[in-house]
Amino acid sequence: MILGTRHMIGVYPTDHEVSKMAFKLSIYPWVHNARYNGETWKEEYIEQKHLTPEEEEALDDEAHLTLVNERNNFPHLPLVNYTTQYGLGCFEGLKAYPQPDGSLKMFRPERNCARMSSSMKGLRMPPIDENLLFEGIRETVQRNAALGFTPRYDTSWETDFWQSGAAVYIRTFAYSESGIGINLSKTPWVITVCTTVSAYFVPGKNEAVTSDRIRATPHGTGWIKTAANYVTSILAKTEAIEEGYMEAIFLDATTRENIEEGSSCNFFALFPGKQLITPALHDTILPGITRDSIITLAKEKGLEVIESDLPVSKVLEEAVECFVTGTAAGITPLGSLTHKGRKRGFSSLDKDSLSMDLLKELKGIQYGGVMDRFDWMTEV
């Protein structure tokens, strides 16, 4: 079945800002739970309290909020631990996309499983077995889909090239054992939950501004998808929104001259001569899976793709288009970038731009409208 409006637009969070976000707190009933016991990973599937999707849709807001909160509560997890106290945790986000034939397909899930393992190693946690995580994710999505907790394909999404399309968002995260002192996690949990996600950035002028904040420093944790990294990102993005922008762009910590990435996304700039530049993967930049996919698509289109330092001055003086990429963002063309009061507009939002062409290509592959010639999609 198709989930109703309540599930799609997320009216439940009491904080009005949270309710505007693409991510919903309406966690689906089935959860995958794996824990390392010092020798091996033990896993289980947990079915939380739920009604049918139709019955939940019929609940009033207060009753449904109560049910959602119950599903978002895991009493067996310790309140005080290295994750909640010190940010020693990491996570992954990936999506399962509704297909025209009624099936669901995940986008490059093996890459997310590999990155989760890498992040846990970076935090000196015992890494999750990648195959166990892959099968746990797929089985969790399958079980929720069998209950009807998943959006179905809507042909109206095609009118804006699937930018308004909904998907199953899969969040896998590590959570440590009890602890109050500064220490490492030896027996963490890795938990996988699912919910519905829609467009991350609201369509508009898509203007961005550089932030004075520093997201990551050399020899730090910038390359790890750790929870701790997102504090600065949240602050910078909030400040950008308060100033009337959509997104914050971080510069490097050493020279303060080179673009690194957005608040939760990688950065690309197109220059004359079909030259596409994205910041090289130093240890301060997250190796994005969508980033890697866009590099592949751009090369196929005959562009020269360069991974190197990217001075903000070069972007302001020469760039024709700019866009950001990520699991949540997909591809989001930027209409302008402002740095120290200097603003440059881009043609990224034009219907015949490279940014829009790549957006249509990627979304088309994900939603089954374009041939998956790279075998990126895995059926649930």
Q: What number of other Cβ atoms are within 10 A of residue 364's Cβ? A: 16
Q: Are residues 21 and 125 in the same domain?
A: yes
Output phi, psi for 19, to 5 deg.
-70, -15
- As given in the structure block, the two tokens for residue 354 are 């490279």
pTM, rounded to two decimals: 0.91
- In this structure, of 157-166, 250-259, 314-323, 335-344, the range with the lowest mean pLDDT score is 157-166
Cα–Cα dist 30/305, whole Å: 41
Q: Is 151 left (phi over 0), alpha (psi -120 to 50) or beta?
A: beta
Q: What number of other Cβ atoms are within 10 A of residue 118's Cβ? A: 17
Task: Report the pLDDT value the prediction gives residue 74, as an integer from 0 to 100.
Answer: 84
Q: Are residues 321 and 298 in the same domain?
A: yes
- In this structure, of 8-12, 66-70, 281-285, 336-340, the range with the lowest mean pLDDT score is 8-12
Task: Report the pLDDT value the prediction gives residue 26, as an integer from 0 to 100.
Answer: 83
Task: Report the pLDDT value the prediction gives residue 23, as an integer from 0 to 100.
Answer: 54
Choosing from 145, 173, 197, the residue where a domain stops is: 197
Q: Is the pLDDT of residue 13 over 50?
A: no
Domain that holds residue 245: 207-362
Helix axes 289-300, 109-122, angle to 10 degrees: 130
In a domain, 159, yes or no: yes
In a domain, 91, yes or no: yes
Higher-pLDDT residue of 67 and 172 is 172
CATH classification at residue 278? 3.20.10.10
Task: Report the pLDDT value the prediction gives residue 202, as an integer from 0 to 100.
Answer: 61
Q: Is the pLDDT of residue 189 over 60?
A: yes
In a domain, 139, yes or no: yes
- Residue 100 near residue 193, CB atoms below 8 Å: no
In a domain, 375, yes or no: no
Give me the DSSP letters along 87-130: ---BEEEEEEEE-TTS-EEEESHHHHHHHHHHHHHHTTSPPPPH
In a domain, 380, yes or no: no
The 10s digit of each residue's pLDDT in 83-115 is 999 999 999 999 999 999 999 999 999 999 999
Cα–Cα dist 211/233, whole Å: 10
Question: What number is the average pLDDT over the span 351-378?
Answer: 97
Task: Report the pLDDT value the prediction gives residue 4, as an integer from 0 to 100.
Answer: 37
Q: Is the pLDDT of residue 22 over 60?
A: no
CATH classification at residue 92? 3.30.470.10
Q: Are residues 164 and 211 in the same domain?
A: no
Question: What number is the average pLDDT over the span 299-316?
Answer: 98
Q: Are residues 177 and 234 in the same domain?
A: no
Q: Are residues 190 and 57 in the same domain?
A: yes
Choosing from 157, 178, 197, the residue where a domain stops is: 197
Choosing from 197, 224, 257, the residue where a domain stops is: 197
Output phi, psi for 182, to 5 deg.
-65, 120
Q: How many domains does the chain have?
A: 2
